[in-house]
Amino acid sequence: MKHSDATTTNDSKPRYEILDGLRGVAAVIVVMFHLFETYSKGVPYQLLNHGYLAVDFFFVLSGFVVGYAYDARWGKGMAFSDFCKRRVIRLQPLLVLGTIVGALLFFMGADHPSFSSIIDTPWWIVVLLAIWGGTVLPIPPSWDVRGWAEFNPLNGATWSLLWEYVANLFYGLILRRLKLRTLVVLAFIAACLTVMLCLDYDPLGILEVRNYAACTVIGGWSLTPDQLLIGFSRLAYPFLIGLVISRVAQMRITISRHGFLWCSLILAAVLAAPRVGGVDVRHYWMNGLYEIAAILLIFPLLIMMGRGSTVKGERYEGLCKFLGDISYPLYVTHYPIIYMQMSWVATHSDAPTSTHIFMSCCYFVIAIALAYASMKLYDLPVRAWLSKRFLSA
């Protein structure tokens, strides 16, 4: 999920409310995607089939926001250390909270057959994992207590935050110094990586092990060669093209009426679209082409539409603000609740369909409520204190 500042730097620059709202729309779809995933027979059968592409949209938005928020500050004397402090203050508090939530709920997911090792995990190991996971550093496979080889077995969704930090470090050290032409060339090279990933063109044989997600960008959450390649490929083009868009004022598309509505519908349609080509392995390449179009073209266009259009009316402004405010806390705290849902489904598979629907709705409401409470009671006051303590201005 996008894990960044609001789309503004100071009062002299406009705030892009639509982009705030779209970040929230994508986060809500991610939660729904994971709730449906529990009932899926596999990647090709998943409802909201392309919900995982929300992460790629977040990375495009991240590149735009970071460039928009910080490019001008370097010329005004902002040091690299100050940039790092600002990014850590923005990202780290909720990362820590999300890991703590995962630790507190860890044993509540022990009934799922895929998590058989949970019940035998000592409590002190969970505490150590919470401390380690709260640093954003990936946990070694030998410490995996869930069996999914995630960067953080207490809260799998935090994997994208590691890549977010990687992108921010590259920006602060290198990308901010590059001319626009160089960024465009790098974005083109990164686009080639996206195409190779989506079409499973794998000359080095690194991706051979991912038959479960052929011709998709699914992955990026483990310390294995294939997962690291997937994660880097998912990050590179989206972040770079977002940065390019932030630097070219003309890269905007104006929608005169209902800009947020149209952008939201397009984003939701892209993420909810069924598997292109169906479940026949011979047609998987069709889905790869769909993801190429979404990542290389549609997501950047959505950023340009959100940038060029305005929200009219207090109702839409309030909705965009609410969605933007809960987007990051929702993304970073929801996955431990999904572990609980998976465990409940595993032990109540014979429950009526209506009960499963009711329980899924309850988990969804709990995720939204937890996100809102995390934002209001924890994230905002903690960031305010850290900013006052560690930032000069």
pLDDT in tens, 95-129: 999 999 999 999 988 888 888 789 889 999 999 99
pLDDT of residue 296: 98
Q: How large is the average pLDDT for residues 358-379? A: 98
Instruction: Please say whether the beta carbons of 305 and 253 come within 8 A.
Output: yes
- Is the confidence at residue 10, as pLDDT, over 80? no
**Per-residue pLDDT tens digits for 293-332:** 999 999 999 999 999 998 888 888 999 999 999 999 999 9
pLDDT over 80 at 5, yes or no? no
| Residue boundaries of the structural domains of the chain | 17-390
Give the CA radius of gyration of the chain.
20
Helix (H, G, I), strand (E, B) or coil at 18: helix
Nearest to 157 by CA among 51, 5, 66, 266: 51
pLDDT per residue over 225-281, tens digit each? 999 999 999 999 999 999 999 999 999 999 988 999 999 999 999 999 999 998 888
Q: Are 236 and 273 in contact (CB under 8 A)?
A: no
pLDDT of 9 over the 70 cut: no
* d(C-alpha 120, C-alpha 139), whole Å: 19
Q: Look over the chain and give the mean of its residue pLDDT values, rounded to a whole number.
A: 93
pLDDT band at 3 (very low <50, low <70, confident <90, very high): very low
CB 159 within 8 A of CB 150: yes
Residues 63-84 have pLDDT tens digits of 999 999 999 999 898 999 999 9
